Structure 1
Amino acid sequence: MSEVSIDAVFRLIAGRTEVERGSVMPHTYQGFPRISVDPAVMGGKPCIRDMRVTVGMILGELGGGTTIEELLSDYPYLEREDILKALRFGASLAGFRDVALVAA
Structure 2
Amino acid sequence: MTTVLDRITFDPAIMGGRACLRGLRIPVSVIVRQVAHGATVEDVLEGYPDLEREDVQQALEYAAWLTEEQVSGPSTPSRAIPR
- The runs of at least 4 consecutive aligned structure 1 residues that moved more than 4 Å come to none
Structure 1: how far apart are the matches of 2:57 and 2:20? 13
Map 1:1-104 to 2 at 5 A.
Answer: 31-96=4-69, 97-102=71-76
Query: What's the CA shift for 1:43?
Result: 1.0
Query: What's the CA shift for 1:31?
Result: 2.6
Task: Determine what percentage of the aligned residue pairs are the same residue.
Answer: 38
Counterpart code for 1:50? G
Structure 1: how far apart are the matches of 2:57 and 2:4? 13
TM-score (norm 2): 0.82
Question: Between Structure 1 and Structure 2, which shows a larger proportion of strand residues?
Answer: 1
Number of aligned residue pairs: 74
After superposition, the CA RMSD in angstroms is 1.7
